[in-house]
């Protein structure tokens, strides 16, 4: 695999290797990819937590009777039209 990097990114990788924390550029890139995967998982968990929070709010509103009941596609279309305004 061949990867093109900007001179700034190359300098960052070189600095990491020169720091002694990594033996070569491949180790730096592998570590960066692992970090990216961890970050992506963290973001996914945050989004799921926010969704669960919003679902709980909706559920609480329904239980209190604070909702609009939609009984037909026409009523749903009317609601979306109203929301767009």
- Confidence class for position 68, pLDDT limits 50, 70, 90: confident
Query: 2 in a domain, yes or no?
Result: no
Query: 43 in a domain, yes or no?
Result: yes
Task: Specify which of 33-37, 68-72, 79-83 reaches the highest per-range mean pLDDT.
Answer: 33-37
Query: 1 in a domain, yes or no?
Result: no
Residue 65: domain span: 7-84
Q: How far apart, in whole angstroms, are the C-alpha atoms of residue 10 and residue 20?
A: 16
- Confidence class for position 1, pLDDT limits 50, 70, 90: confident
Query: 74 in a domain, yes or no?
Result: yes
Using CA atoms, how far residue 58 sits from 55, 76, 82, in Å, is 5, 17, 20
- How many domains is the chain partitioned into structurally? 1
Q: How many residues does the chain have?
A: 85
Residue 72's CB is within 10 A of a number of other CB atoms, namely 8
Q: Is the pTM of this model over 0.85?
A: no
């Amino acid at each position: 695999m061949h990867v093109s990097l900007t001179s700034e990114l190359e300098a960052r990788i070189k600095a990491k290797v020169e720091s002694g924390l990594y033996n070569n550029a491949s180790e730096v890139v592998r570590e960066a990819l692992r970090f990216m995967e961890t970050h992506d998982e963290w973001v996914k968990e945050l989004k799921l937590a926010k969704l669960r929070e919003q679902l709980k709010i909706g559920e609480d509103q329904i239980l209190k009777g604070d909702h609009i009941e939609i009984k037909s596609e026409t009523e749903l279309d009317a609601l979306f039209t109203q929301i767009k305004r």
